[in-house]
Structure 1
Amino acid sequence: MNWVERAAELRQWSKGAVRAPHKPLLLLYALGRFQREDDGALRYGAVEEDLKRLLAEYGPPHRTSPAYPFHHLVSDGVWEVRTDRGAGSPGTGVRELRATGAAGRLVPELRAALRREPSLLGRMAQVLLDANFPPSLHDELCEAVGLVPEPEPDVSERLSVARRQRDPRMRERVLTAYEYRCAFCGYDGRIGAVPVGLEAAHVRWWAFDGPDDVDNGLCLCSLHHKLFDKGVLGVGEGDRVLVSQRFVGHSPAARVQVTELSGRPLVGPQPGAAPVAARHRAWHTAQVFHGDPRPAHAAPSPA
């Protein structure tokens, strides 16, 4: 049985390009626990808060319950649930999962395969990350679920599962279009002739059919790339920066680097280069950006 392909093909609720990473997050969490504890079952009542935090931070903008993947992951053949009454999940109700002492864990065949082939865990985790999240979030998501990163899986295996190849030229095309400046803050640091701390961000994530095209890219500094992928920042009508009302930061740095960006026009792209396409901008606003945007920040009056 190809467990890597099974991880890549988890059945998720879908409607267009709506994000529903509930099952991948639970499976990543379960793999992290297996890596640390091997055979321990995850009692729903004990892990509910952990799963809530993962969904709040890495899930879709709207609130959802971890009871959904705890029950439905069973149908993918990688997860089993038992209760005080015996085998089988009592359903997606939080009360039922708690009251029956529901506990889930990886199915016996998968646990045996992970013991026989330790590298399998890392390959499954990488495919789950590639298929559901942008690269800027991979390391911190591994830390959040307690996964110790394994050596990179074979590239041919990752591509055979993903069935799409990234265009290695995208980064250079996007950075050139924005003249090596962060589209949000204008940062343009270099060491000699080499830019440092600048990255090409996908507006619509590659994992959700976002193309490797300039009109789906932004040149962003490392900080703003991370905040963009976490839904703190977005791009609104008129190519102006959106800042989530849910973001809280009182320090001068937080104000200058985040809240005062609200309503500011993007820096670039240069004339002749394609701006962010409306369809990609709309996807990010609906699927990644958190909450409502703050009002445009008023620039201080000149003295």
Structure 2
Amino acid sequence: MGWVERVAGLRQWSRGGVRAPHKPLLLLYALGRFQRDGEGELRYGAVEEDLGLLLSEYGPPHRTSPGYPFHHLVSDGVWEVRTDRGPGSPGSGVGRLRADGATGRLVPELRSALGREPELLGRMARVLLDLHFPPSLHEDLCEAVSLELEPAGVAAAGLTARRRRDPRMRERVLTAYEYRCAFCGYDGRIGAVPVGLEAAHVRWWAFDGPDEVENGICLCALHHKLFDKGVLGIGEGHRVLVSQRFVGHSPAARAHVVDLAGRPLLGPQPGARPVGAAYRTWHTEQVFRGSPRPTAVD
């Protein structure tokens, strides 16, 4: 099995579409460190805060210890852990990892392969991004782990995608919502071409979300990003949810985010299927952060 295929098959706890991107986040972080210094050895006590922030921002809404992926990634054959006493992980408990001076890094065989084939790092990183995160977050995530990647698709990585995306999805969703953002109504065009409008998956494609109109929603670029980051969601009655964790004091932040709380979605047009309840529930449980802001909207 090649390294790209091995990375694509990371063993993760999975049930009913629950997100568990802990190992992919650690591996992306390790690849970023390797790209910078060629060794990428990570002492747990020194990187615990960084890993915790990554899990908080890009992981599921419920809190997870950074010690979990640091220990369990060993089982996938791409990561090794040593302590002051020698090889082997002391477990996933953060106290033991700190006290025993645990350090982790990519296994020697993978480090050698990356040395021989520098482009391998980019192929592995793109597979991790594509299989575990929506495209709207890829650039931000690469910046967060200090990865510099050349533009390329997963097909160029030599990995056959598990499913093929439907190229008609975007047009069908934008048509259903009459080319306007379902949250704010933005409908900008240059001539006849819409600009800044995107078809967002409610249940992410990486987590078996289908390319169907009832799993899609037309959003402007800003609200697509906030939707995928868990700032915004869709509640009962197809009304906009705004997370209480969002903080913005400027008039722009209030107008474009806070004041959306409780507003009904704009669309879809009659005859088009609205967002399905199962997809709304998945997004609320796996992506939306915290509790929604109260609203006076009836």
Amino acid at match of 2:252: A
Q: 2:120 is paired with a residue of what secondary structure? A: helix
Instruction: Specify the alignment match of 1:257 in structure 2.
Output: 256
Tell me the number of residue pairs that the alignment of Structure 1 and Structure 2 aligns: 298
1:52 Cα deviation from its structure 2 partner = 0.5
Instruction: Specify the alignment match of 1:32 in structure 2.
Output: 32
Instruction: Specify the alignment match of 1:285 in structure 2.
Output: 284
- Structure 2 regions of 5+ residues with no counterpart? none
Partners of 1:154 and 1:22 in 2: CA distance? 21
Amino acid at match of 1:239: H
Q: Taking structure 1 as reference, are residues 154 and 218 closer, same or farther at Cα in structure 2, changes over 3 Å only?
A: closer
After TM superposition, list the pairs within 5 Å mapping 1:50-89 onto structure 2. 50-89=50-89
Q: Taking structure 1 as reference, are residues 23 and 87 closer, same or farther at Cα in structure 2, changes over 3 Å only?
A: same
Instruction: Specify the alignment match of 1:212 in structure 2.
Output: 211
Matched, 1:110 2:110: yes
Partners of 2:264 and 2:9 in 1: CA distance? 39
Partners of 1:154 and 1:205 in 2: CA distance? 17
Q: 1:210 is paired with a residue of what secondary structure? A: coil
Deviation above 3 Å: which 4+ runs of structure 1? 156-159
Q: 2:92 is paired with a residue of what secondary structure? A: coil
After TM superposition, list the pairs within 5 Å mapping 1:17-166 onto structure 2. 17-153=17-153, 155=155, 157=157, 160=160, 162-166=161-165
Instruction: Specify the alignment match of 2:195 in structure 1.
Output: 196
Q: Taking structure 1 as reference, are residues 112 and 243 closer, same or farther at Cα in structure 2, changes over 3 Å only?
A: same
1:27 Cα deviation from its structure 2 partner = 0.1
User: In the TM superposition, what whole-angstrom CA distance separates every residue of 1:111-151 from its partner, at most 9, and x where no partner exists?
Assistant: 00001111100000000001100000000100000000124
Q: 1:207 is paired with a residue of what secondary structure? A: helix
Partners of 1:10 and 1:188 in 2: CA distance? 41
Q: 1:248 is paired with a residue of what secondary structure? A: coil
- Structure 1 regions of 5+ residues with no counterpart? none
Q: 2:122 is paired with a residue of what secondary structure? A: helix
Partners of 1:96 and 1:235 in 2: CA distance? 41
Partners of 1:156 and 1:50 in 2: CA distance? 30
Identity in percent:
79
Instruction: Specify the alignment match of 2:230 in structure 1.
Output: 231
Q: Taking structure 1 as reference, are residues 154 and 54 closer, same or farther at Cα in structure 2, changes over 3 Å only?
A: closer
Partners of 1:293 and 1:154 in 2: CA distance? 35
Q: 1:234 is paired with a residue of what secondary structure? A: strand
Partners of 1:107 and 1:214 in 2: CA distance? 43
Partners of 1:179 and 1:24 in 2: CA distance? 37
Q: 2:80 is paired with a residue of what secondary structure? A: strand
User: In the TM superposition, what whole-angstrom CA distance separates every residue of 1:15-51 from its partner, at most 9, and x where no partner exists?
Assistant: 2110000000000000000000111310000000000
Name whichever of 10-19 and 70-79 sits farther off. 10-19
Amino acid at match of 1:149: L
Partners of 1:136 and 1:297 in 2: CA distance? 31
Q: Taking structure 1 as reference, are residues 158 and 164 closer, same or farther at Cα in structure 2, changes over 3 Å only?
A: farther
- Tell me, yes or no, if the aligned pair for 1:122 and 1:153 is still in contact at 8 Å: no
**What's the RMSD between the two structures over aligned residues?**
1.2
Partners of 1:167 and 1:75 in 2: CA distance? 34
Partners of 2:243 and 2:293 in 1: CA distance? 6
Task: Provide the TM-score with structure 1 as the length reference.
Answer: 0.96
Q: 1:265 is paired with a residue of what secondary structure? A: coil
- Tell me, yes or no, if the aligned pair for 2:19 and 2:286 is still in contact at 8 Å: yes
Instruction: Specify the alignment match of 1:246 in structure 2.
Output: 245
Instruction: Specify the alignment match of 2:185 in structure 1.
Output: 186
